Amino acid sequence: MRPAEMAGLLGSPLLILLAWAMAGIFTLFSIMVLAEIGAMIPATGGQYIFMQHMYGNFWAYLYGWSNFAVINTAGAAGITFIFSQYAQYFFKLPSFSPGTEHAIALHIPMIGDILPLEDFGTKMLTLFVLIVFTFISYRSTKLSGGIQVVFTVAKVLAIVLLVGGLFFWGKGSFENFTTDAPSIKPSGFAMMLALVAACNGALQAYDGGYMIVYMAGEVRNPGKTLPRSLIAGLAVCIAIYIAITAAIMYILPVQSMASSALVAADAARNVFGFVGGGIIAFLICLSVLGPTNCTILSSPRITYAMAQEKNFFSWAGKIHPKYKTPSNALMLHLIWMSVMVFSGSFYILADMYIFIVFVFNLMLVYGLFILRRKMPDTPRPYKVWGYPVVPVIVLLLNAFYLVVMLYNDINNYLTGKTHIINSVFGLALTAIGIPLYWYFKMKKKQEENIIVVPLEEDVIKEKYSK
């Protein structure tokens, strides 16, 4: 999805590749910070545990809440939209007329309008997929894990066929790498905004490269394994994304990329015909179901753990008596993902959740300095290269990115380009966790102060039993 969006923003093939590289380098520096913290605090729980050490329980709770309210639910719903959109290569999904789509608009002050009827067919198929995978995870963790293998194979096949097929069998042109689209390419301050917005898409694609830190407590020799896997894994991802984008660019000029709804399938159709394009579209559908399945399977575990610690509604911490899965947490996530589906589109949800990810990423990077001060004698098997210069650069770039994206979102809303301010919407959903934190803290304190007085009949039974 992102190469087409980048083409529409930048109108320059070299700038598109530059956006992938810039976002990759920035993510690499951020990953290096996480590598030091993860090797230093090798506990299962990842950023949730790191936030506790850095800032205390409040910010750790807010991070855990944001994973439910925005990051995981909006992320799963957003990426499932890709399946629904690529499915339209094979059949047209129904939709309402523009007038009907805007007939129902839920206005949120200072945030914008939610249009639940917009792209209704796409939203219904997305919701159906989320229900199916939640049902699978509800019934069997083992089955859900087995399905993940199928999706991983599909992802590898899609990458190999797309990149290899387009470069080796496609009759493209290397001139596409140097030919701009003057009608699209911005200049001046608008160019800077467009480049940051393009990097936003790349940052979302790289997001997830840190997931191994969630299992740091289960990794053998984390001091060496974590940094190697984080840095090497991300480097491979950067190379793959640039290769995919370059392969598409070799076939489609930037002007054609910008106007394409299914850019990878369109490039494949130019080379292999309608059937070949359909094969790529089918493999893309399968491959994007991988992160959908993975997120639905794993993310309710965080909500379940918070409920177990009495930091969430107690019923979310129940295990199904027959299937032994966190069934209530899974159903809660499904309900909220449904709300996410009808509140936006792929780009709205993706941009919203990645903005919140980088709000906490800013805190994690700054937290490195806090840990160096608070825990100076704790062994650090891996240390960030170029400290303190590299973390400071990451900190400044992260802050700059957030400010520009916030400005860009507000400006797009005010000029009528979008009907909702993605970043502010994400911040508002995250802020709901603030009163919830104090509510659960007060409730837990009240439960701890309760004095249990035995009933008279219990005293009698105990006396006679002795």
- Give me the CATH number covering residue 23: 1.20.1740.10
Most confident of 147-151, 183-187, 333-337: 333-337
Tens-digit pLDDT profile for residues 41-82 = 877 667 888 898 999 999 999 998 998 999 989 989 999 999
Q: Please give the residue that has the higher pLDDT: either 225 or 358.
A: 358
**pLDDT tens for residues 258-307?**
999 889 889 999 888 988 889 888 888 888 898 898 888 888 878 888 88
Residue range 416-441: mean pLDDT, rounded: 93
What confidence score (pLDDT) does residue 458 get? 57
Query: How far is residue 200's CA from residue 461's CA, in Å, rounded to a whole number?
Result: 67
**If pLDDT is split at 50, 70 and 90, which confidence band does 184 have?**
very high
Q: Domain range for residue 109?
A: 2-465
Q: Residue with structure tokens 């805007």?
A: 102
Banded pLDDT at 39 (limits 50, 70, 90): confident
Closest Cα partner for 187 from 13, 18, 16, 12? Answer: 12
Distances (CA, A) of 30 to 40, 56, 285, 366, 367: 16, 21, 30, 11, 12
**How many domains does the chain fold into?**
1
pLDDT tens for each residue of 97-135: 999 999 999 999 989 999 999 999 999 999 999 999 999
If we measure between CA atoms, which residue out of 5, 98, 335, 42 comes closest to residue 213? 42
**Percentage of the chain modeled with pLDDT above 70:** 94
Contact 216, 424 (CB under 8 A): no
Q: Are 334 and 130 in contact (CB under 8 A)?
A: yes
Q: Per residue in 210-247, pLDDT tens?
A: 777 666 666 778 777 878 888 888 888 899 999 999 99
pLDDT for 142 equals 82
- Range with the poorest average pLDDT among 357-361, 382-386, 453-457: 453-457
